[in-house]
Amino acid sequence: MVKDIDWANIGFSYTKTDYRFISDYKNGKWDEGRLSEDAVIRLDESAGVLQYAQTCFEGLKAYRTVDGHVVCFRPDLNAKRMADSCARLEMPIFPEDKFVDAVKQVVKANLEFVPPYGTGASLYLRPYMFASSNVIGVKPAQEYQFRIFATPVGPYFKGGAKPISVKISDFDRAAPHGTGHIKAGLNYAMSLHAIVQAHNEGFNENFYLDSATRTKIEETGGANIIFVTKDNKVVTPKSNTILPSITRRSLMYVAEHYLGLKAEEREVYLEELKDFEECALCGTAAVLSPVGRIYDHGKEILLPSGMEKMGEVTQKLYDTLTGIQMGRIEPPEGWIEVIE
Ligand code: PLP
Ligand code: COI
């Protein structure tokens, strides 16, 4: 039985589900892990996560497919990326195979919260790890907890496929040789002031620039960016200070191998924005959200695809990616993890 929820109208917000996965790291090793009905965490007042933000997370979704299965999209890549985040933050790595197994356990335990096929909603999974034991000097903690909770979600941006407005941010998100390439909580904490300001000014998101030269486009606070050129090439910023989005990597593959388009990962200059035909944000939460307007300090760039609907190429990318995720289109090998 699926829960009685108004699936077509849920936004991207937290709804408590029945079970979450918990595993503790003590004395140098992870325990077996367990499912729990308890959503509350009790922590030492000097826990590493509270004092020095030693925490990282992941995000992926489970979908109901056209033929009634419940699947997950490329969870092995989330496991790998979380391992990279942990290594950079001096946290213990949660074994990648156990990560995928725990994702499956959480989805299975919360099957009633996996939205029906065709509603546009999905079950968002949030794996995360934090330092649970006390520290006072600046150093890594000794004990950690790994958790995964699940929450049903709809579109990240209100209005779903309607193009959004973004601004070029005056704030930086990531430093060269910093932590922009991993999914550390600290990267999001420092973006909150910038997003509140952008919202107050009437923009949906920020485009961050590379902080070394402030001449290149990087990403937003929660998604990578793709552009489409006038001759239908799909271009995405290349940078080692942005998060390696699994959605973006998948879209570039889809562009080349399913749609026969040229796909290019390269540096994208602020100067070039006026020359693109289409632009969209891509990520697990954002899926592929079209951008219609970019505001750059008094200059307004209106993408030719406009503010009414997605550009043509963006739409094809969207249809193909979501078609693969929902079982309407044959996936590349290894992309779909069948859970039920
Ligand atoms: N960039 C940032 C900063 C993000 O938070 C996310 C979300 O996970 C992404 C990009 C997109 O990554 P993915 O496609 O793996 O969800
Ligand atoms: C995701 O897409 O999974 C993210 O973590 C981005 C966040 C803005 C919700």
- Please write down the HEC assignment for all residues of the chain: CCCCCCHHHCCCCCCCCCCEEEEEEECCEECCCEEECCCCCCCCCCEHHHHHCCEEECCEEEEECCCCCEEEECHHHHHHHHHHHHHHCCCCCCCHHHHHHHHHHHHHHCHHHCCCCCCCCEEEEEEEEEECCECCCCCCCCCEEEEEEEEEECCCCCCCCCCEEEEECCCCCCCCCCCCCCCEHHHHHCCHHHHHHHHHCCCCEEECECCCCCCEECCCCCCEEEEECCCCCEEEECCCCCCCCHHHHHHHHHHHHCCCCCEEEECCEHHHHHHCCEEEEEECCCEEEEEEEEEECCEEEECCCCCCCCCHHHHHHHHHHHHHHCCCCCCCCCCEEECC
Pocket flag, ligand 1, residue 224 (CB < 6 Å) = yes
Question: What are the φ and ψ backbone dihedral angles of 36, each rounded to 5 degrees?
Answer: -140, 150
* Average pLDDT value over all residues in the chain: 97
> pTM for the complete prediction?
0.98
Which whole number is the average pLDDT over 226-245? 98
pLDDT at 158: 85
Residue 256 CA, ligand 2 centroid: distance in Å: 25
Phi/psi of residue 294, nearest 5 degrees: -125, 125
pLDDT at 160 over 80: no
Tell me the CA–centroid distance for residue 90 and ligand 2, in Å: 22
Pocket test for ligand 2, best of 55, 156, 183 (most atoms within 8 A of CB): 156
pLDDT digits (tens, 9 = 90+) for 194-217: 999 999 999 999 999 999 999 999
Confidence of residue 238 (pLDDT cuts 50, 70, 90): very high
AA letter at 37: E
Tokens of 219: 């990403």
pLDDT tens-place string over residues 8-46: 999 999 999 999 999 999 999 999 999 999 999 999 999
- pLDDT in the model for residue 161: 82
Scan for tokens 């790890």, then name that residue.
129
Q: What is the pLDDT of residues 246-286, one digit of tens each?
A: 999 999 999 999 999 999 999 999 999 999 999 999 999 99
Q: Between 246-257 and 312-325, two packed helices, what is the crossing angle to 10 degrees?
A: 110
Domains of the chain in sequence order:
7-153 (3.30.470.10), 164-325 (3.20.10.10)
Judge whether residue 227 has pLDDT over 90: yes
Q: Which residues are catalytic?
A: 183
Q: What percent of the chain has pLDDT over 70?
A: 100
- Residue 19 sits at the vertex; the CA angle it makes with 16 and 142, to the nearest 5 degrees, is 100
User: Residue 159 above 90 pLDDT?
Assistant: no
- pLDDT tens for 73-94 read 999 999 999 999 999 999 999 9
Mean of the pLDDT values across residues 239-251?
98
d(CA 228, CA 314): 8
pLDDT tens-digit series, residues 48-65: 999 999 999 999 999 999
| Average of per-residue pLDDT across 220-239 | 98
Q: What is the pLDDT of residue 1?
A: 84
Give the model's pLDDT for residue 311.
96
Ligand 1 centroid – CA 183 distance (Å): 8
Residue nearest to atom 9 of ligand 2 (CA): 285
